[in-house]
Structure 1
Amino acid sequence: MVVHFILRLLSAVRYHLHTAVLFTWTDYKTIFFPITVFACATAPVRSFSDLLQCSVWVWFHQLLCNVSNQARSCEEDKANHPWRPLPSGRISESQAVVLRWATVVFCLFLSSIYDQDLVLTTLGLVAATITYDELGAASNVVGKALCTAVGYAAFEVGATTIIGINHAMDFVSVTAVSISVILIFTVIQAQDFPDVEGDKAVGRMTFPIYAPELSRLLTFLAIAAWSVFLSWFWDVGPISTGVFIGFGLHVGLRYYCLRTLGADKTSYLIFNVWLMTAHVLPLHARMSVLAL
């Protein structure tokens, strides 16, 4: 009897952990790794304990956003991501809503372990998700970009604060986050190109749907311009500058020239590598590691 109970418990735990991973799966490349890399480079990281605490904080806050976004986007996910928990039937919409608010409570508790400012950071992220998912910002080109930029800022502030000395941010950290917010606001449409058909199906207006040609041109120009600006601002060496600018031109040109669904999915993967690379550049202000 006891063995049977333990086996059933382990099976249930495994099932729910798998469900949580499916909720977060597509955003490891867009949130978890870029944010963690950003915090490690900007703070910078000084111990494995700090890295572990940062990773836990980021993952649960990512879960918060993912469940919030997916709890009411089942129809869209049937087209774009049919394996997610809701369209695949692993969890019901009502259960997802309960999980969403339970995750909010847990994230507030997690932030309260550190200090009041981090609780405010979590509340800021919650406000951004509500505006995005419940108040219709996801269906507006500017509103979507603005909420996403605010959300990234909350993630970056929280992660960098946890890793930073005395759990605080200094001038370099604040500067890096400020630049990152503007960067995300101007290039976030890169994530929308692979999802055009699903977004059309649910009536969501994204930049690639609103202006197919202009959105690709501006994405190319924005990535190229940011590659030049960030190399100059963080004063990295000539070889590092050439490599980063060349990488940015490659990513931007892919978006402009290669327009199939498969190409857009690959471009988005490469874009996230470019974004993580951009998030590493503030480390040069700390340690001059990119002087070449």
Structure 2
Amino acid sequence: MVVGFLLRVFSAVLYYLHTAILFTWTDYKTIFLPITVFACATAPVRSFTDLLQCWVWVWFHQLLCNVSNQARSREEDRLNRPWRPLPSGRISESQAYALRWATVLLCIFISSIYDQDLVLTTLGLVVTTFIYDELGAAGNVIGKALCTAGGYASFELGATTIIGANHEMDSVSVTAVIISGILIFTAIQAQDFPDVEGDKAVGRMTFPIYAPELSRLLTLFATVAWSIFLSWFWGVGPISTTAFISFGIHVGMRYYLWRTLEADRKSYLIFNVWLMAAHVLPLHARTSVLAF
């Protein structure tokens, strides 16, 4: 009888863990990995313990954002990602809303373990997410870009603070977060190209829907311009500069020239690799590792 009870508990834990992973699955490449790389390079990382704490903080905050977003995008996900917890029936809308606010409290608690400033970072992410999902900023081109940039900045502040010496930010870290936020604001439309049909179905206005040609042209310009600027700003060496700029040109040209759904999905994956490369560059300010 005890064994049966334990098996049921274990089965339930696996079920809900699987559900949580499904909520966060598509954003490991867009949030978890880029934010981790940014924090490790910018802080920089000093021990595996700090890295593990960073992973925990980022994952639970990612879950917060994912649950909030998906609680209101069930119809869109039926078209684009039917395997997610809501369209697949693993969780009800009322349960998703309850989980959404439970994760807020959990994230506040996790941040409170460190200091008040990290709690404020969590609250900033909660406010940004609320504006994005509950107040309709997700359906507005500028509002979406602003909220996404603010969300990324919150993630970067939190992750870098946890990994940094004495859990503090210095001038290099602050500068890197500011630059990254502006980069995200100008290039975040890269994530919208693969989701055009789903966004149209729910009446969401994204940059690729509002201006199909201009959005691709500006994505090309943004990736190239940021590659040039970041290489210059962080003072990396000639070979590193050439490689990074060439990568940026490749990413931008993919978006501009290859416009099928499958091509856009692959382009967004490559964009995130480029973004992670951009996030590594601040490490050069501390170690000159990219002087070649």
Query: TM class, shorter-chain normalised?
Result: over 0.9
Aligned match of 2:145: 145
Aligned match of 1:112: 112
CA distance in 1, matches of 2:45, 2:72: 37
Q: 3-state SS of the aligned residue for 1:277?
A: helix
Superposition TM-score, scaled by structure 1 size: 1.00
Give the deviation of 1:107 after TM superposition.
0.1
Report the count of equivalent residues.
Answer: 292
Q: 3-state SS of the aligned residue for 1:282?
A: helix
1:77-132 Cα deviation digits (max 9, x unpaired): 00111000000000000000000000000000000000000000000000000000
Q: 3-state SS of the aligned residue for 1:98?
A: helix
Note if 1:37 corresponds to 2:37: yes
CA distance in 2, matches of 1:277, 1:208: 25
Note if 1:196 corresponds to 2:204: no
1:209-263 Cα deviation digits (max 9, x unpaired): 0000000000000000000000000000000000000000000000000000000
Aligned match of 1:213: 213
Aligned match of 2:73: 73
Sequence identity, in percent? 82
Amino acid at match of 2:114: Y
Amino acid at match of 1:141: V
Aligned match of 1:261: 261
Aligned match of 1:278: 278
CA distance in 2, matches of 1:245, 1:22: 35
Report matched runs for 1:1-292 at 5 Å. Answer: 1-292=1-292
1:146-170 Cα deviation digits (max 9, x unpaired): 0000000000000000000110000
Give the deviation of 1:72 after TM superposition.
1.1
Superposition TM-score, scaled by structure 2 size: 1.00
4+ residue segments displaced more than 3 Å: none
Gaps of 5+ in 1: none
CA distance in 1, matches of 2:46, 2:116: 23
Amino acid at match of 1:163: I
